[in-house]
């Protein structure tokens, strides 16, 4: 709590300094000055009525007041002419970031105050607020300092490009993710799992196949992709082949490690029940190896997307995320490039989140998921 008070005092002092010596920025845009004073009110509430943040309504009120400061600064930076902004706005932004940091701390401390489901939903606000803070700073710096759009376009420009190119981006998503990534991911992980069981069943394969698997994992994408294009053509099949090569070895190694992690006591118990190899595998060893398998799946979820996009640089139909990035960067349409990157990042994040959710459902017994 003491650190929060310090952050609010810093904002109050900074606000007073810029109000006296450099308040011109508040005159840019309609209602800017009204919104700019809202975080000051929030600071006074936290300093003189600290109990307000203990109630849910108080947290919501403080959040709205602080976010009004973001609206004020964004309104000013978009309304002012180039070079017309005073230094006071940057002092305001720096101190406001301290309040945003404080705000994330308020929301992150709420998980023990409510039931589990509500706490999980509210805790989602912390990554949302953190991501929003980064986008806010990105917008302020690129627009405020007039950064050339070919170097780094502001998020609003990228958002406009995203909205205006929805049909094209959807087609790219289908080609790259729904076809190449998913097909290669399933084939690579599936084959890695099957080979791992074979290696575990037939010990001499461990000396023969593991070095080859290690060799395959060390192959550079830029060397493999053109060969796969020559073998399987320019469509998604060649990209799926690249993804399969990239995802095979992590699944193989993690599955083998998981199969060997079963304790000797469990194995002796199954032997006492006269269980054969397959019964032990299905009933004991595979369930025990699930954390390792899901670890490989999560690693491969990111490798698959990277591999498919990079492979599209070496030959593809006129559709796909990699094709879009390479084409639009040549046309200097950097906003479309960033919109494509955003689609790739979101699809990869949701894919990873889905696997993490499934991991929680199937391995909830694991100590890493236990709540003290």
Q: What is the DSSP string of 53-120?
A: GGSHHHHHHHHHHHHHHHHHHHHHHHHSPTT---THHHHHHHHHHHHHHHHHHHHHTTTTTS-HHHHH
Report how far residue 79's alpha carbon sits from residue 28's, in angstroms, rounded to the nearest whole number: 6
The CATH class for the domain spanning 164-369 reads mainly alpha
DSSP-based helix, strand, coil % in the chain, nearest 5: 80, 0, 20
- In 3D space, the residue among 48, 53, 43 whose CA is nearest the CA of residue 12 turns out to be 43
Tens place of pLDDT for every residue, the chain, 372 residues?
566 788 899 999 999 999 999 888 888 888 889 999 999 999 999 888 888 888 888 888 999 999 999 999 999 998 888 777 888 899 999 999 999 998 888 887 765 555 666 666 676 778 888 999 999 999 999 998 888 888 889 999 999 999 998 999 999 999 999 999 999 999 999 999 998 888 888 877 777 677 776 776 677 777 888 888 888 888 888 899 999 988 988 898 899 888 887 777 766 676 676 677 787 778 777 888 888 999 999 999 988 999 899 888 887 788 889 889 988 888 888 999 999 999 999 999 999 989 988 988 887 776 666 544
Residue 110 neighbours by CB under 8 Å, 6+ apart: 56, 59, 119, 122, 123
Indicate whether this model's pTM tops 0.85.
Answer: no
Cα–Cα distance for residue pair 212/226, rounded to 1 Å: 21
Contacts of 296 (CB under 8 A, 6+ apart): 189, 192, 250, 251, 253, 254, 255
d(CA 366, CA 283): 16
Domain boundaries, the chain: 2-147, 164-369
Of 106, 94, 105, 86, the closest CA to residue 69 belongs to 94
Q: DSSP for 280-318, please give it.
A: HIIIIIHHHHHHHHHHHHHHHHHHHHHHHHHHGGGS--S
In the block, which residue shows the tokens 């970031």? 97
For residue 142, the Cα-to-chain-centroid distance in whole angstroms is 22
């Amino acid at each position: 709590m003491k650190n929060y008070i310090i952050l609010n005092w810093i904002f109050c002092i900074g606000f007073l300094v810029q109000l006296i010596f450099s308040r011109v920025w508040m005159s840019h845009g309609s209602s800017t000055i009204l919104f700019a004073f809202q975080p000051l009110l929030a600071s006074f509430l936290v300093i003189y009525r600290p109990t307000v943040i203990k109630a849910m309504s108080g947290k919501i009120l403080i959040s709205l007041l602080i976010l009004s400061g973001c609206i004020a600064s964004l309104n000013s930076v978009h309304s002012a002419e180039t070079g017309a902004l005073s230094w006071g706005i940057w002092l305001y932004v720096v101190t406001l970031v301290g309040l945003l940091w404080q705000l994330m701390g308020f929301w992150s401390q709420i998980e023990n105050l409510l039931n589990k489901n509500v706490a999980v939903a509210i805790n989602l606000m912390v990554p949302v607020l953190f991501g929003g803070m980064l986008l806010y700073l990105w917008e302020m710096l690129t627009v405020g300092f007039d950064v050339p759009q070919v170097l780094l376009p502001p998020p609003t420009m990228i958002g406009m490009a995203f909205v205006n190119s929805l049909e094209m981006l959807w087609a790219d998503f289908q080609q790259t993710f729904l076809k190449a990534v998913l097909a290669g991911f399933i084939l690579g992980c599936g084959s890695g799992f099957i080979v791992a069981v074979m290696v575990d069943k037939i010990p001499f394969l461990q000396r023969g196949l593991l070095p080859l698997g290690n060799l395959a994992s060390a192959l550079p994408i830029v060397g493999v992709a053109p060969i796969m294009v020559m073998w399987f053509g320019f469509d998604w099949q060649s990209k799926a082949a690249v993804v399969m090569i990239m995802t095979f070895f992590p699944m193989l190694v993690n599955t083998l490690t998981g199969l060997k992690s079963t304790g000797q006591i469990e194995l002796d118990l199954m032997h006492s029940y006269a269980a054969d190899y397959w019964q032990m595998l299905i009933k004991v060893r595979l369930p025990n190896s699930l954390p390792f398998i899901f670890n490989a799946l999560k690693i491969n979820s990111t490798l698959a997307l990277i591999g498919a996009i990079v492979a599209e640089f070496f030959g593809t139909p006129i559709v796909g995320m990699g094709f879009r990035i390479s084409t639009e960067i040549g046309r200097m349409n950097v906003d479309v490039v960033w919109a494509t990157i955003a689609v790739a990042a979101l699809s990869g994040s949701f894919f990873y989140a889905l696997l993490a959710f499934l991991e929680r459902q199937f391995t909830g017994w694991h100590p890493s998921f236990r709540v003290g």
